Structure 1
Amino acid sequence: MEEQIEQLFQWIDQTATIIEQEENVPYLEAVIAASQLLFDREMPDDLEPSYDKSLKDQLGKVHLKDFEMEVRRKAMQLAILKGMKGATQQHHYITPDTVGMFMGYLVQKFMQGEKSYRMFDPACGTSNLLLAVLNQQKGTEIAAFGSEVDATLMRLAFNNTNLQERHVEYFHQDSLKPILLEPVDVVISDLPVGYYPDDETASGYDLKAEEDHSFAHHLFIEQSLKYTKEAGYLFLTVPSFLFESEQKEQLQSFLKENAHIVGLLELPESMFKNKQHQKSIFILQKKGTETKDPKKVMLAELPSFKDAHAMNGMLEQINEWFKNDR
């Protein structure tokens, strides 16, 4: 599999580099064009003969059908990561694969036995997390939705989804404004962290700040709950300092009223350059007429994903929780 990922990444990278140089566009824009070419295999009109030949030569080297879905996703992820190197904006950030795999495992455990359901990522970015989680849900029919404000990330998400031959309905908009979406069974998201600049939109939220800008990650939690069905589940990566900020009491009372806290799993510190940027997976269930708090909240510091022995021990603990404490 690693060889295939490398082969497909090299093709996307080489094709994007040709497009980048010929059309004088940023590398990420060229990745969008290269992935589109790979998917629909249609040459643009009126190209210079040498440029036309270069792209046709590239097309002759690979066929999408020769690569399985996870190979396609990971090859695109590598190309996107290369394009984002040096990008200073925090929202130009891709969720690590290990987090996507673990979150996919959690969704599978909580949704076991469900034949079909609806899933939404309100901050989908390039859709790497959403597609990683979807790829792990075997034998289940999932209607998937994503929302993203950044136009480049949205186009990458769209092409990523095409390469996966999946159907995802996307909303290109500010996800903290009203979304034309019926509530879903599962929300997954790597939440944007920081301040939200639009005070007028924030003013409609219970979790708005009394003064200055509101925390975007607080507003996203509230918005995510709004678009979750009663008794539905949310799997969110949040800053590990979530309950240490000056607005923690406001957040705690809001959650107490609207959700059951099911789990808080701290991601390994080794994944983050700086302890201040450390994140946790926060699991919530939206309150419903027949829901109740778990017997025990699932609390854990996750070991390094590279430590197979420690990770197996953690998975055993999670299985025990499902048997005895859910």
Structure 2
Amino acid sequence: MEKSNVEVLFGQIDNLTETVQQYMNETYLDSLIIALETCFYGSPPEDADERLIQKLDNIPDPASYEIVDIRKAVQLAILKGMKGATQQQHLMTPETVALFVSYLAGKITNGQEKIRAFDPVAGTGNLLITVTEQLDKLHHVSAGEVDPTLIKLAVLNANLQKQEIEFFHQDSLRPFLMDPVDLVVSDLPVGYYPDDIRANDYELKADEGHSYAHHLFIEQSMNYTKPGGYMIFVIPEFLFDSDQSDKLHAYLQEQAHIIGVLQLPETAFKSDKNRKSILMLQKKGPNTTALKQPLLVQVPSFKNTEAINDILAQINQWFAANMDQ
């Protein structure tokens, strides 16, 4: 069988990465950074060893591939690098989920133009880059990420897909030098935040012990969203059932309107414990009002085309009745 463009490009990126990995004795993900730099510039990095440069042949030309093929090939390479070696909070947002968030972002911002968007914990950038590609109305996009390997991959990912995104390499629970935005999209990392002193700046800090990072990121996102602006989070399914959830409930009631909660299908994730939902919020402002009935949806398997089309029709109807200006 003839290979698809995605398979061909992934094979070339993978070969380059493995060559770097064998020669430099780096992890696959760190070697992938050098491979993607080589693809982007058309030649190995200037500071690369002469013997390695001679080994890096068959460099693919990204310009000869569609953007969607580049995105999928890079995703496959990142997934290979993450397999078995990545902490739970570093898992990449699945393509189907990223596209679904993009669709919701388009619906929730219907009628708005020139939107500023932000992802405080971008990881390898897959979610934000997908949303940026799908929504022409985004005119300034920024992202934060603390992990040096992930942010390098995110920058190269964006460059190869010709997406202009401003990246901040920092602990995203520290202050950002940026103005509030119209839209936040984020796949929240789940776990405890180790810096108790920094956590003390947040309302959602734990009364004792470490605070939940995923709670603090919701508050930080609220801090950088304009009044009336929107937030779309990919959240762990247990978000509102955990031991610190009462405080989160009270905070959201005070600061935001819940637009909707969509339970994602089990089939989109490796196991039940990884299962996630989508939470859509609007930050309260002088011209905002609470919805009588938020959007509550159980999303069927993305592979079931008929069921997905049916649920999308229902979601479109809900937006037409409740949100469209």
Q: TM-score, normalised by structure 2?
A: 0.95
* Contact kept? 1:176, 1:220, Cα under 8 Å: yes
Aligned-residue offset at 1:88? 4.0
> Deviations 1:228-261 (Å, cap 9, x if unpaired)?
0011010001111111122222111111110000
Identity among equivalent positions (%) equals 48
Over aligned residue pairs, what C-alpha RMSD do you find?
1.6
- Provide the secondary structure at the position in 2 that maps to 1:189: strand
Q: Deviations over 1:52-83 (max 9, x none)?
A: 3332x313xx3211112111111111101101
Which deviates further from its counterpart, 209-218 or 106-115? 106-115
Q: 1:110 deviation in Å?
A: 1.6
Q: Look up the SS of the partner of 1:123 in the other structure.
A: coil
Partner of 1:86 in structure 2?
Answer: 84
- 119-128 vs 235-244, which moves further: 235-244
What is the identity, as a one-letter code, of the residue corresponding to 1:77? Answer: Q
In 1: Cα distance, 2:207 partner to 2:168 partner: 30
The question of 1:142 aligning with 2:143 is answered: no
Other-structure match for 1:4: 5
Residue 250 of structure 1, aligned match among 247, 250, 253: 247
Equivalent positions of 1:1-326 (< 5 A) are 3-43=4-44, 44=46, 47-48=49-50, 51-55=52-56, 57-59=57-59, 62-138=60-136, 140-326=137-323
CA-to-aligned-CA distance 1:31-51 (integer Å, 9 cap, x gap): 1001101111233357445x4
Whether the 8 Å contact between 1:70 and 1:135 is mirrored in structure 2 is: no
Amino acid across the alignment from 2:4? E
C-alpha distance in structure 1 between counterparts of 2:191 and 2:166, whole Å: 27
Whichever residue aligns with residue 58 of structure 1, its letter is N
Letter in 1 for 2:132: L
Residue identity opposite 1:284 in structure 2: L
> Which sections of structure 1, spanning at least 5 residues, go unmatched?
none
Kept in 1, the 8 Å contact 2:42–2:61? The answer is: no
**CA deviations over 1:125-147 (Å, ceiling 9, x no partner):** 00011111111113x24211010
TM-fit CA distance, 1:270: 2.6
Please state whether the residue corresponding to 1:160 is helix, strand or coil: helix
Residue deviations 1:139-161 (CA, integer Å, cap 9, x gap) = x2421101001110011011111
Per-residue CA shift, 1:71-102, capped at 9, x if unaligned?
A: 11111111011011111412331000010000
Q: TM-score, normalised by structure 1?
A: 0.94
- Structure 2 unaligned runs (5+)? none
DSSP-derived class of the 1:58 partner? coil
